[in-house]
Chains A and B, each alone.
Chain A
Amino acid sequence: MAPEAKTRLSHRTRFVLGIYALLALPLAFLTVFVYLPFFWGFISSLYEFEIGASARFVGLANYREFLFKDPVTWPSFLNMAFLAGWGVMVRLTVPLLVAKLIHSLSNERSRHMYRILFLVPIVVPGVAIQLIWGIMIFSDGGLVNEFLRVIGLGGFAPNWLTDPHSALIAIACIGFPWVGGFEVLIYYAGLSAIPDSVNEAARLEGCTGIRKFFYIDVPMILGQLRLILILSIIGGVQTFENVLILTRGGPGFATTVPGLWMYYNAFSFQRMGYACGIGVTLFALILSLTALNLRYFKGAESLEG
């Protein structure tokens, strides 16, 4: 018994060691290129420091300043909440609607064609898309204002991105009609995965159209919805490139988001430590939102299951 146990154990040990060996390289990469920089940033947030100059330990002063003293902080969080909330909303609804519409078509070829058509824009670089919207759609000589003039509302035509009252809304409108090809595919996949028996049963029960959509389809694709929700929230908190390219966070601070403020502090204002403080705060926010998310949705799923 004893020798056998020993060989089993050593076999098991060897097996586990093998796994660790396979994991070593990926984890080493992750540690060097992701964790190392992350902790470096984390530690930097406790210092007042400029790249290239000496650092001075300041404890939690950066966090205190960001959370309690900086007048930009709260407006920027509100902007972020608005943009992220809006992003989550449209990414949960419009692509779903489109996916449902496509799914409802009887012709397989047109279903295929629509999915590809909506997917095409992802080949265009993101920078280009932002510029297109800034220049072509929202500038004063752009599509929207020219259209308003054509229909006789020229007097109303606002300076979309440069008026403090409309800039945030204009940013939210970018990407109209918000049909992300990727999301459409995911929802479509979810809808396709609903078993025939369920659809058939629903049809027999007379549950069709909008009712079927809400009572059958939506609960059946909760997993996909949750995935998009998490990705949208993480993206919504982190993203600032669009604002940087379009308005630089202006006019004033009307479209500044915390990520952008971090960027400005890191590179323009030479306050790397402060910027790292903002970054860590954002990380904490994303972490807690994701945890909340998972908990809430797990609850919903177990109810359903």
Chain B
Amino acid sequence: MELDVTANKPVPSLRGERRRKEWGAHAALLVFCFFTLAPFLFVLNNSFRSTVEQQRAFFGLPSAFVNMWSKEPVEVLDENLQRTLIPAEQCFSYFLNEATRGYQLAREVLHDYLLNTLEVCLSVALGVVIMGSVVAYLLARYRFPGSRFVYYYIIATMMFPAVLMLVPSYMVVRELGLLNSFWALFLPYLAGGQVFAIFVFKGFFDGLPEELFESARLDGAGHFNLYTRIVLPLSKPVVSVVAIMTILGAWNNFMWPFVTNTDGSFHVISSGLFVMTRTPVAQNMGTLYAAYILSSLPLLLLFIAATKPFIQGITSGAFKA
């Protein structure tokens, strides 16, 4: 399952020519990169600008950053909307506070949501990996009456339009008395999330050579041992892919947490952000952008930490229909 780095091993004699050729590839990739990432740089920039500033001019450096280094007193409106002068020596701290105001507000709002999100995402990821791998393992390795039916029963749900399900799903959760709780998110995510997991795990398990199991079976390994000793260790990269994709899905779904949270006591990041866009906080656009940035942090961290297994997982060949 290691990355195949030998595939394009450069032939020494061709090295110089290859280099020159690669400049073209690098240039093209950098252009693609720039356009892909540029919008996010704008968000970063605007997260330091106030609404009034953004309305006045669309592009531009945050004025607070500029004023931070001012050598002269700067005129501002104070809390009571009176014009006051900020002395030059206080400019730095005053405008540092101004520039990060959006972040401070966003943090206050996001704090609980972040904790809730982490709780939901991590438990859903764990549940989906366990359930998905077990089911996929059973479907991939064993023939039993109804196995095909079970597989299609599961896979068919991938085609159900989400909007059609929103209201009925809500009714179900409500009847079960799960509204406003961790379970209202956890159980439906687990039910829906396992489908993708099963799809991916099964794709991976199908590709495992039969001999692997034969030899283990000859050694007297039971079904459970086969699963824990052979299958799970081998599928580490796939596990990380499934976990990350599940976390991403749970992270980005806003409509569901939004409607099942009737008293606002268990909002997660996505629904919280959505609620935020409709609330007074959003009147300060800097805050909104800052919230986008802050809410991306945990995923960014996950990414930086887990890129390798993630890439390996996708590379492992499970993603082949």
Instruction: Select from chain A the residue with minimum beta-carbon distance to B300.
Output: A123
CB of B10 to closest CB in A, whole Å: 4
Using an 8 Å CB-CB cutoff, how does the interface string of B105-127 with A read, 1 for contact, 0 for none? Answer: 00000000000000000000000
Which of A38, A101, A125, A279 counts the most chain B CB atoms within 10 A? A125
Give B160-177 interface residues, CB cut-off 8 Å to A: 160-169, 171-173
A224 at the interface (CB under 8 A from B): yes
Beta-carbon contact of B251 and A125 below 8 Å: yes
Contact of B168 among A38, A128, A196, A287 (CB under 8 A): A38
Beta-carbon contact of B5 and A108 below 8 Å: yes
CB of A289 to closest CB in B, whole Å: 9
Select the stretch in A17-25, A58-66, A68-76, A162-170 that faces chain B. A17-25
Known: A22-B138, A185-B315, A188-B315. A128 touches B163 (CB 8 A): no
A300 at the interface (CB under 8 A from B): no
B292 cross-chain contacts in A, Cβ below 8 A: 124-125, 128
Beta-carbon contact of A193 and B317 below 8 Å: yes
Beta-carbon contact of B195 and A30 below 8 Å: yes
CA distance A266 to B170 in the complex (A): 14
Using an 8 Å CB-CB cutoff, how does the interface string of A105-132 with B read, 1 for contact, 0 for none? Answer: 1101010101111111111111111001
Beta-carbon contact of B164 and A35 below 8 Å: no
B28 cross-chain contacts in A, Cβ below 8 A: 101
CB of B37 to closest CB in A, whole Å: 7
A177 cross-chain contacts in B, Cβ below 8 A: 32, 35-36
Beta-carbon contact of A19 and B191 below 8 Å: no
B-side interface residues, number (CB < 8 Å) = 84
A186 at the interface (CB under 8 A from B): yes
Beta-carbon contact of A185 and B163 below 8 Å: no
Beta-carbon contact of A230 and B321 below 8 Å: yes
Beta-carbon contact of B161 and A262 below 8 Å: yes
B40 cross-chain contacts in A, Cβ below 8 A: 120-121, 124, 132
Beta-carbon contact of B33 and A118 below 8 Å: yes
Beta-carbon contact of A33 and B159 below 8 Å: no
CB of B25 to closest CB in A, whole Å: 5
Instruction: Report whether over half of chain B's contact residues are helix, strand or loop; otherwise say mixed.
Output: helix
Known: A33-B188, A125-B273, A133-B39. A105 touches B161 (CB 8 A): no
Beta-carbon contact of A186 and B161 below 8 Å: no
B89 at the interface (CB under 8 A from A): no
Contact of A106 among B22, B172, B314, B315 (CB under 8 A): B22
B277 cross-chain contacts in A, Cβ below 8 A: 127
Contact of A125 among B165, B188, B295 (CB under 8 A): B295
B169 cross-chain contacts in A, Cβ below 8 A: 33, 37
Beta-carbon contact of A275 and B315 below 8 Å: no
Beta-carbon contact of A104 and B190 below 8 Å: no
B59 cross-chain contacts in A, Cβ below 8 A: 146
Known: A115-B311, A137-B39. A30 touches B191 (CB 8 A): yes
A248 at the interface (CB under 8 A from B): no
CA distance A192 to B59 in the complex (A): 42
Known: A34-B192, A118-B33. A259 touches B161 (CB 8 A): yes
A230 cross-chain contacts in B, Cβ below 8 A: 321
B281 at the interface (CB under 8 A from A): no
CA distance A179 to B163 in the complex (A): 27
Which of B5, B7, B162, B164 counts the most chain A CB atoms within 10 A? B164
Beta-carbon contact of A224 and B161 below 8 Å: no
New contact pairs (9) apart from A121-B40, A280-B164, CB-CB < 8 Å: A29-B191, A123-B299, A124-B40, A127-B274, A279-B164, A282-B164, A286-B161, A290-B159, A297-B321
